Structure 1
Amino acid sequence: MLNNFPTLYPDELFYSAIARYKQANAIDSKLGVERDIYGIERHHKVGKSVYFPQRLGTFIDRLPFYAKLSVDELIWGHTMFPFYTAFMTDVKTNTIFDAIKSGNQMSIENMVGIPMSKIKTPKFLRYCPCCYEEDLNKLGESYWRRLPQVPGVLYCPTHKVLYKNSAVDITTANLDYVCADSDVCNEALTNDENAATYKALDKIYVRNVQWLMQNRISLPPNYISSFYIDRLREMELTSYVGNIKMTEFLEAFQGHYPTNYLELMQSAVSIDERNSWPKLFIRNTAKNRSALRHLLMLQFLKVQLAKLFEIEPVIGKRQRKKSNRVPIYSSEERKEQWLMLLAEHPNANRKELSKINNGLFAWLRIHEREWFDKVTPKNIKTRNLKWNL
């Protein structure tokens, strides 16, 4: 039983709490820590991940009965689960939740689509130098927060300074549990030349990220694509039916964001590129789409994030109305027109006749083919036009 596991700080990664437990108990090996946390032996496997640790249900079971931490609180409040599942269906979200709680042979990173995504996660654990100093003064130690690890988050919302990379490389297979201390958090503050350009955009983005991390939400299947089409229709960037005016849409999106900012967000847009990501993003509902790009799209559409999750009725693509138009000419009238055309051009072959009145030519071939073939020889130059209708 774990009698001295540290109390988790607000927004602290579970990985960070394990690192503090390892340091406080002077445990040398990763296996020793994992034996304490998960009750595993050498031959057991546990999904090691900074973002998505597994077997958290087992960890909760090893806490004393008076501990006030639940597996639900641990997953929602101390892993990256709420950000990466925010725009997924309930079914997939619940599957990932159960995998974190009970363990899964497949990594959670694969389940949420990180390896295949164009949006790459930070290579190093990140931190705010000002938060780090404040933590040391108030708490006597610092810790790894979730917010700096979110792709696209550039500035600390409290101190308005750029987040810094630590020396902890989280992509290595031999990752140990490392505390946020002076050995790895030693980057000094630097001047930010782009602050005026990016801070306003980053403030909106960070606010939306925090909202996602603090609210338990879900969307019905295919809802968000219809929601996007409705908003684009209001901006006159789709047809009435809902077909997107792609060139106008891409130009408007590109004009909303500075080019360098989109590059920082791993979401540069090219109007001429055939597979420019906003095209695929709006159309494709089958694959995982990154939360980062959802937030960029919502900022462009000027939609409050909470408004999206109110789940109001949406239209999306409209079905084309079937025409009940009455034909201008009856079949008999069309036949009369064709006989008159044959009489006016007695030496014309079929190819020449089609050029003279292609619409009539095509209609008769489709709807009155037997009669048409009978009265319209292919290559005969002289005709007897005394056919009966």
Structure 2
Amino acid sequence: MINFPFLFPDEILYSNLARYHRDSGSENHKQTVDDLFGDRNVCAALLFPSHLAALCRNIPIGSKLTPEELIANHTFFPYYAPFLSHEKNLGLEEIMILDKGASVYMHLGKPASTLKAEENLKYCPNCVVQDRETYGEAYWHRSHQAEGVFICHYHNNVLIRSNVSHAKQRNKHVFISLESILEDTVGHQQILIQPHSFEIIDYIAKQTYILLNYRFEPLGLENINQFYVMKLQRMGLSNHSGRIRWADVIPAFTQFFGKELLMSLQSYIAPSQEATWLHKLLRKPRVTCHPLRHLLVLKFLGETVESTYNGICHDKLSFEPFGKGPWPCLNKAAKHYNDSIIQSCEVTRDSKTGKPVGTFSCSCGFVYSRKGPDQTMEDRFRVGRVKKFGEEWSEKLRVIAQEDIPLRGMARILGCDPKTVVNNLTNKDIIAVTKIENQHEIMVYRERWNGLKKKNSHASVTELRRLDQAGYTWLYRHDRKWLTENTPIKKYEAIQKERVNWKERDVELAKEVKNTADAILNEKHTKLIRVTKTEIGKRMGKLPLLFNMLHKLPETSNQLDNVLESIDEFQSRRIEIRALESMKTNTVIKHWELVRASGLKVEFIGSHRELLNGLSVK
């Protein structure tokens, strides 16, 4: 080869080889392939070209290009590398360097992927102008060809989808340069995107460019999965043990991106779907997943490729809802108050909210807990509930109880409620002081309540409570007997419960069961459905009624007994219907054809042999 063209920044290797073909003056693409690779059967692969060692040998003497440099800077290997295992990365490099190109997509698992590759090459009109000014000609940019990239990461304008297809069989040995198609742009279409999704599309374009150019090492499938689960835990979408709340994750994911955008990215997940790409990505990793879908998950989690890489490399993979220990002792009575000396934190799950609950036990006997996860540093010094005060706290209480300190002052010293102080005191004199101190406060609250009643003479106790919640609560805790005697009399409104006429409902349901069963029997679908109680209940929208209240519906129960099909009855009906269908096109029905059309399993053929023999011939 002579005059092999210089590779431009962000140029995909396909583009460089297309420019070589154009400049060589050859009209035979297979001859160009033979000149480049020494083999006329090598395909013009866009994303993962192979035979790169042969290409570098054929490049003119003096060139310093190596297969490794081509792979890193001008193929899609770096796009996939962080999300593959180390072994798969080595295998993929070997395939591209040697002559094993046919196995590259099988190696990546792309044939089984529901996300199909872009068929047509894309370009940015602004890049065309800029490249012509800088390099003298336009070329195909590598970062524009990835799935889900609809805008230029540099110019932020929408890409144009050309009429050049690299996926069609007739083009598999053809290299087409960008300049050669710009004279006639018939068939070129600007990609349509919704304005409200521009921010997400921009994120995908920029993160794709970063993946292609920053040369990230493989992150490890297990590490990526742990990172994702940890982020979900912080968002409250997974519990502290790592169990993902799918009923919350799927709707939140769909709402975040919008159904229309996810469908355009071939990544929409219907609410009823199971074992989807998102399930496979967030559960224990067994298969690889397309980088675009990793980017969608990262965007949902509020992360980038760089932050994920840094998080995994710095071992930030474990979810610690209360941070790392040691944790502070919050016993105000202790000398080590606020000192971080607690070494262990027991994490449990709140049964109502599902949030983690941390229990902290200090050597001084003080035990406290709080709900997490902690959001700020101040949360580390927050007590949710004190489970045990401990001996040191009790000793401090006994000491200050002998001093001339009011009840509320004692409570402030000990970091608790005044009532807690009273409940823990045993000294009769202190209790007496407390009662005398409270007497004045009681009179103030009583007058406050009576004044409220007088101003709102027609209000109920609930309405009064709303007007003065604090006053009602104080009286309820300290003077409950008086409060009960001085609240308005409750006025109950008699509510007549609507009673169900089960006899009338039974008659109606029995008719509805019969009609639903007839409808199932008369359906002319390719797949026949057996008449069962569950199927009837689902179609009627009254499944719980048929299973839980049938003892009150005797006529409905009898009707169900009449219309339900056993497995044998259903199989016989299937055989007869398939036989009738076959008779419309065939005068003679063969035994094996009828068995296959009826979908009978081997173990059931014997029990229906007589019917099969009567409707078919061997």
TM-score (norm 1): 0.75
The aligned residue for residue 214 of structure 2 is: 215
**Deviation (angstroms), 1:253:** 1.4
Give runs of aligned pairs for residues 15-164 of structure 1, distance below 5 A. Answer: 15-40=14-39, 42=40, 45-104=41-100, 106-164=102-160
Q: Distance in 2 between matches of 1:213 and 1:134?
A: 21
**Deviation (angstroms), 1:35:** 1.9
Amino acid at match of 1:224: I
Give runs of aligned pairs for residues 221-370 of structure 1, distance below 5 A. Answer: 221-310=221-310, 311-313=313-315, 314-315=317-318
**Deviation (angstroms), 1:94:** 0.9
1:178 to 176, 179, 196: 176
Which has the higher mean CA deviation after the structures are superposed, 179-188 or 128-137? 179-188
The 1:105–1:279 alpha-carbon spacing in structure 2 relative to 1, beyond 3 Å, is closer
Q: Distance in 2 between matches of 1:158 and 1:136?
A: 16
Which has the higher mean CA deviation after the structures are superposed, 146-155 or 303-312? 303-312
Q: Distance in 2 between matches of 1:264 and 1:224?
A: 25
Confirm or deny: 8 A CA contact 2:117 2:147 kept in the other structure.
yes
**Deviation (angstroms), 1:190:** 5.7
Amino acid at match of 1:28: E
The aligned residue for residue 335 of structure 1 is: none
**Deviation (angstroms), 1:254:** 1.7
Give runs of aligned pairs for residues 175-214 of structure 1, distance below 5 A. Answer: 175=171, 176-181=174-179, 183=181, 186=185, 194=194, 196-214=195-213
The 1:190–1:180 alpha-carbon spacing in structure 2 relative to 1, beyond 3 Å, is closer
Q: Distance in 1 between matches of 2:180 and 2:44?
A: 24
Q: Distance in 1 between matches of 2:289 and 2:236?
A: 24
The aligned residue for residue 163 of structure 2 is: 167
**Deviation (angstroms), 1:48:** 3.6
Confirm or deny: 8 A CA contact 1:47 1:107 kept in the other structure.
no
The 1:291–1:66 alpha-carbon spacing in structure 2 relative to 1, beyond 3 Å, is same
Stretches of 4+ moved more than 4 A in 1?
A: 187-193
SS of residue in 1 equivalent to 2:164: strand
**Deviation (angstroms), 1:290:** 0.9
Amino acid at match of 2:24: N
Confirm or deny: 8 A CA contact 1:47 1:103 kept in the other structure.
no
Which has the higher mean CA deviation after the structures are superposed, 305-314 or 124-133? 305-314
What is the root-mean-square deviation of aligned Cα atoms in Å?
Answer: 2.4
Which has the higher mean CA deviation after the structures are superposed, 285-294 or 64-73? 64-73
Amino acid at match of 1:150: A
Aligned residues: 314
Deviations 1:326-354 (A, max 9, x none): xxxxxxxxxxxxxxxxxxxxxxxxxxxxx
Q: Distance in 2 between matches of 1:209 and 1:105?
A: 24
Q: Percent identity?
A: 26
Confirm or deny: 8 A CA contact 2:277 2:289 kept in the other structure.
no
**Deviation (angstroms), 1:23:** 0.8
Confirm or deny: 8 A CA contact 2:53 2:97 kept in the other structure.
yes
Confirm or deny: 8 A CA contact 1:270 1:276 kept in the other structure.
no
Amino acid at match of 2:314: E
**Deviation (angstroms), 1:212:** 0.8
Amino acid at match of 2:96: I
TM-score (norm 2): 0.48
The 1:94–1:276 alpha-carbon spacing in structure 2 relative to 1, beyond 3 Å, is closer
**Deviation (angstroms), 1:26:** 0.6
Q: Distance in 2 between matches of 1:47 and 1:284?
A: 36
Amino acid at match of 1:161: N
**Deviation (angstroms), 1:154:** 1.0
Amino acid at match of 1:124: N
Q: Distance in 2 between matches of 1:220 and 1:191?
A: 34
Deviations 1:108-152 (A, max 9, x none): 222222222111111111111222233334433211111111000
Task: Say which one has the larger Rg.
Answer: 2
The 1:32–1:190 alpha-carbon spacing in structure 2 relative to 1, beyond 3 Å, is closer
**Deviation (angstroms), 1:25:** 1.0
Residue ranges of structure 2 left out of the alignment (5+ in a row): 321-346, 349-618
The 1:102–1:277 alpha-carbon spacing in structure 2 relative to 1, beyond 3 Å, is closer
Amino acid at match of 1:219: L
Deviations 1:231-283 (A, max 9, x none): 11111111221110111111221221122111111111222323343223211
Confirm or deny: 8 A CA contact 2:53 2:67 kept in the other structure.
yes
The 1:169–1:33 alpha-carbon spacing in structure 2 relative to 1, beyond 3 Å, is same
SS of residue in 1 equivalent to 2:158: coil
Q: Distance in 2 between matches of 1:290 and 1:105?
A: 19
SS of residue in 1 equivalent to 2:111: coil
Q: Distance in 1 between matches of 2:284 and 2:158?
A: 34
Deviations 1:306-341 (A, max 9, x none): 122232332379xx99xxxxxxxxxxxxxxxxxxxx
Deviations 1:362-387 (A, max 9, x none): xxxxxxxxxxxxxxxxxxxxxxxxxx
**Which of the pair is proportionally richer in helix?**
2
Confirm or deny: 8 A CA contact 2:5 2:20 kept in the other structure.
yes
Which has the higher mean CA deviation after the structures are superposed, 104-113 or 181-190? 181-190
Which has the higher mean CA deviation after the structures are superposed, 128-137 or 242-251? 128-137
**Deviation (angstroms), 1:160:** 2.2
2:4 is the counterpart of 1:5: yes
Q: Distance in 1 between matches of 2:59 and 2:116?
A: 35
Q: Distance in 2 between matches of 1:191 and 1:31?
A: 32
Deviations 1:287-322 (A, max 9, x none): 1211001010011111232122232332379xx99x
**Deviation (angstroms), 1:182:** 5.2
| Higher-RCO chain (CA-CA 8 Å, sequence separation at least 6) | 1
SS of residue in 2 equivalent to 1:111: helix
The 1:32–1:189 alpha-carbon spacing in structure 2 relative to 1, beyond 3 Å, is closer
